[in-house]
Amino acid sequence: MKIYKAKDYEELSRKAASIIASQVLMKPDCVLGLATGSTPIGTYKQLIEWYNKGDLDFSSVKSVNLDEYRGLTRDNDQSYYYFMYNNLFKHININMDCTNVPDGTQSDSDKECSRYEDVIKSLGGIDLQLLGLGHNGHIGFNEPDEEFAKTTHCVNLTQSTIEANKRFFASIDEVPKQAYTMGIGTIMKAKKILLVVSGSDKAQILHDVLSGPVTPHVPASVLQLHNDVIVVADEAAMAKF
């Protein structure tokens, strides 16, 4: 595991973007696993800036997103499809037919989750998976549990995640209670993983993730077992090291 300590959020975003940019430069038709949440927004902004300067070409890139709220349509401004479209896809030359986000409107969760696993398999797996970190150690929407989930599945969001995400909704009642997410097994199959973590409120959990025992109670701790993980965290998030 490589750990890069960035001075602040801006430097974190530049470092993370440069790792994604190298992946795209080295393999123009790579499969990028993408993430939502506030942490990767600066990374996406930096990629857009380099694209606008003519330094990056996303025309052959394919993407798969980690997760999506169950029940939200693509045009709902809180859906992860909407997030990805507005924070990245519409600003670059990626082919929208080559972007994938679980379909939150599919009520048959087993069917949608196995379809999504098949999509990832048919693309030949993920070259680089970007991850943010939840305050409870979740990655994607893999919440603390008794065991690591293997494949894409439907999850009941924990109260703490609902609380953390209510800032984006008009009221807590509007926060979906379920989501479709890649499993820990799906994530761990990615060839390379890039975890971005920012802020003092993530310092304790980042310490548990990197230095504590590997346990499904701290889902991201499983990353200790992956052979190609890069962590980019700012000084505030690294405060416990």
Residues near ligand GLP, by CB under 6 A: 35-39, 66-67, 132-134, 140-141, 161, 165
Active site residue 217: no
Positive or negative CA dihedral for 82, 168, 232, 14?
Answer: positive
CB of 13 to ligand GLP, least distance (A): 12
Question: In whole angstroms, what is the distance from residue 224 CA to residue 214 CA?
Answer: 7
User: Could you tell me which of 149, 146, 152 has the C-alpha nearest to residue 102?
Assistant: 152
**Quick check: is 112 catalytic?**
no
User: Per DSSP, what are the bridge partners of residue 25?
Assistant: none
> Which residue, 46 or 165, has its beta carbon nearer to ligand GLP?
165
Nearer to ligand GLP, 38 or 156 (CB): 38
Rounded to whole angstroms, the Cα distance separating 77 from 84 reads 10
Q: Between 57 and 235, whose beta carbon lies closer to ligand GLP?
A: 235
Active-site residue (options: 87, 91, 136, 235) = 136
> Active-site residue 143, yes or no?
yes
Is the CA virtual torsion 165, 170, 176, 179 positive or negative? negative
- The least distance separating ligand GLP from the CB of residue 57, rounded to whole angstroms, comes to 26
Closest distance to ligand GLP from the beta carbon of 138 (Å): 6
Please say which residue, 60 or 162, places its beta carbon nearer to ligand GLP. Answer: 162
Marked catalytic residue, from 68, 112, 143, 234? 143
- From the list 100, 138, 142, 165, the catalytic residue is 138
Residue 225 CB, nearest distance to ligand GLP (Å)? 19
Catalytic residue check, 75: no
Helix (H, G, I), strand (E, B) or coil at 80: helix
Q: Extract the tokens encoding 238.
A: 């690294």
Amino acid of residue 101: V
**What is the DSSP pairing of strand 99-100 with strand 62-65?**
parallel
CB of 67 to ligand GLP, least distance (A): 5
Q: Closest Cα to residue 179, out of 85, 82, 104?
A: 104
Residue whose CB is less far from ligand GLP, 61 or 101: 101
Would you please indicate which residues are annotated as catalytic (active-site) residues? Answer: 67, 136, 138, 143
